[in-house]
């Protein structure tokens, strides 16, 4: 199964975004002196989270539903019975 590149992009930025948001919520304000007093972890994390989720949603839509996503997550079959990509 060949994977739409938007799955890993979406997954990666969803995780990174979520981590930054959480860190942004718990970190003390002193951390943000160097970033001009703005809690950039929270706000940029939120932006990355939205980006990740949108990418993921597009990838799911492009693969016409969840079945392709589930197949994509399974271990790869041997080379000889690879099907052509389902993404158009």
Residues that bind another protein (CB under 8 A): 1-3, 5, 8-9, 12-13, 15-16, 19-20, 23-24, 27, 31-32, 34-36, 38, 40-41, 44-45, 48, 51, 62, 76, 82, 84-85, 87-88
- Contact between residue 38 and residue 24 where contact means Cβ atoms under 8 Å apart: no
> Quick one: 38 or 67, whose CB is closer to another protein?
38
- What Cα–Cα distance (Å) separates residue 19 from each residue in 48, 50, 68? 10, 13, 27
> Quick one: 25 or 67, whose CB is closer to another protein?
25
Which residues fall within 8 angstroms of residue 81, CB to CB, at 6 or more apart?
A: none
């Amino acid at each position: 199964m060949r994977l739409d590149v938007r799955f890993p992009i979406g997954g990666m930025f969803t995780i990174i975004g979520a981590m930054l948001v959480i860190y942004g919520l718990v970190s003390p304000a002193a951390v943000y002196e160097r970033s001009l007093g703005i809690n950039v972890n929270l706000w940029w994390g939120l932006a990355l989270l939205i980006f990740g989720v949108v990418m993921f949603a597009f990838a799911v839509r492009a693969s016409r539903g969840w079945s392709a996503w589930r197949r994509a997550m399974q271990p790869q079959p041997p080379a000889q019975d690879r099907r052509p990509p389902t993404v158009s």
